[in-house]
């Protein structure tokens, strides 16, 4: 059984860049009340390589669910568009 260990915290700001090796696991937390984004560059076949994701509440590992995550991005984009309409 894999055990996750905290190896530290890194605060990233605009134009910052960081390299993570192929065994690294990372999480992102945005404390701001505005939209932020990040660009991830992966080598190899992203969708063909076995990947894991962790439940944010239980920290339990599960296979990466592409469809679920695409749906989360679509939902987030829809919410953002609605906020833009409300604020215009």
pLDDT tens readout for residues 25-72: 888 888 887 778 888 888 888 888 888 998 888 888 899 999 999 999
The candidate with the shortest Cα–Cα distance to 80, out of 37, 18, 26, is: 37
Q: Give yes or no for residue 1 having a pLDDT over 70.
A: no
Q: Do 56 and 68 meet the contact criterion of CB atoms below 8 Å apart? A: no
How far is it, in rounded angstroms, from Cα 86 to Cα 63?
A: 37
How far is it, in rounded angstroms, from Cα 45 to Cα 82?
A: 34
Q: Do 61 and 54 meet the contact criterion of CB atoms below 8 Å apart? A: yes
In this prediction the pTM is 0.64
């Amino acid at each position: 059984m894999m055990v996750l260990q905290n190896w530290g915290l890194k605060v990233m700001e605009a134009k910052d860049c960081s390299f993570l090796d192929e065994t690294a696991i990372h999480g992102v937390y945005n404390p701001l009340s505005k939209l932020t984004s990040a660009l991830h560059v992966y080598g190899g076949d992203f969708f063909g390589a076995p990947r894991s994701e962790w439940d944010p509440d239980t920290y339990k590992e599960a296979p990466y669910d592409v469809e679920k995550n695409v749906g989360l991005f679509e939902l987030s984009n829809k919410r953002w568009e609605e906020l833009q309409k409300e604020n215009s």
